[in-house]
Amino acid sequence: MADEGAGVQEAKVPERVVDGKPTLYCFETCPFCWKVRSLLSWKGVDFSKVEVDPMKKKELKWSDWSAVPVYVEADGTQVNDSNPILHWVNSNHTGGTPFPRAGEDESQDKWMDFSGDVLGKSIVAVIYSSYGDSRKALAYVSEVESFSRWQAFQAKWLGGFIMRMVGKSRAKMFELPPEENLEFQLDHLSSALAGDFMGGEVPNGADFANYGILRAMQGLRGFPIVEAHGSIGPWFQRMKSTSGV
């Protein structure tokens, strides 16, 4: 997707705020949404979560930006795209130590970009390695109360098929087979650690961005690769306990 439309939007959408709280429009399995969920949790922000139907996305029809996550601040400010949302939440909510803003820390910026440009694509190639794994990843839909049985059926079977196709196309972007590529990318990511976290003693934007991507794999194919990794495995556990998700 082009970046046009990413970031803070001029027009406010107070009617999209649920229960007067910051509201996150997301899919349960979306890695980009977990980036934001981990930061909100770490900061202790009380927010409403709207589960978007991954097939028809009707809960998001009001927005020109059609990908999740979309974040709506309690005052109606709409922010699109996960990295701009992380920066918005960092700058507009107290709780936790703030991390550098975009453009203030080259390394943080680089690894925040890596989370979407490389790591997100690497995990999709692994999670959706077969039709069975794809359906398993989408099985959560039958537990979403707001979805009808038909919506859940479609999301699991048609969505599972589509995501298998996406998985195949992501796999083609890398030279190594999906699981080896994931290990290779985790090795690379470990060079971002500057102590316990990428931010040093406290997590920064790169920690939340990359943790969120990997957190989306929990319970799915390839997650044991993350848990078993020599330095990313322990970092993942530190991020899990400090973020609370």
Ligand X SMILES: N[C@@H](CCC(=O)N[C@@H](CS)C(=O)NCC(=O)O)C(=O)O
List of residues contacting ligand X (CB under 6 A): 1, 27, 30-32, 66-69, 81-82, 116
The structure tokens listed for 124 are 């999709």
Cα separation of 133 and 127, whole Å?
7
Rounded least distance, CB 209 to ligand X, Å: 9
Cα separation of 144 and 136, whole Å?
15
Rounded least distance, CB 66 to ligand X, Å: 5
Rounded least distance, CB 30 to ligand X, Å: 3
The structure tokens listed for 4 are 């046009």
Residues facing 71 on adjacent strands = 24, 79
Strand order from edge to edge, sheet including 70-72: 7-8, 78-80, 70-72, 23-26, 48-51
Rounded least distance, CB 97 to ligand X, Å: 23
Q: Name the residue nearer to ligand X (CB basis): 55 or 202.
A: 55
Core vs surface per residue 32-57: b (16+ CB within 10 A) or e: bbbbbbbbbebbebebebbbbbbbee
Place of tokens 């996150």: 24
Q: Name the residue nearer to ligand X (CB basis): 56 or 228.
A: 56
Radius of gyration for the chain, computed over Cα atoms and rounded to the nearest angstrom: 17
Q: Name the residue nearer to ligand X (CB basis): 59 or 179.
A: 59
Rounded least distance, CB 234 to ligand X, Å: 26
Place of tokens 């943790």: 211
Q: Name the residue nearer to ligand X (CB basis): 92 or 233.
A: 92
Q: Name the residue nearer to ligand X (CB basis): 116 or 199.
A: 116
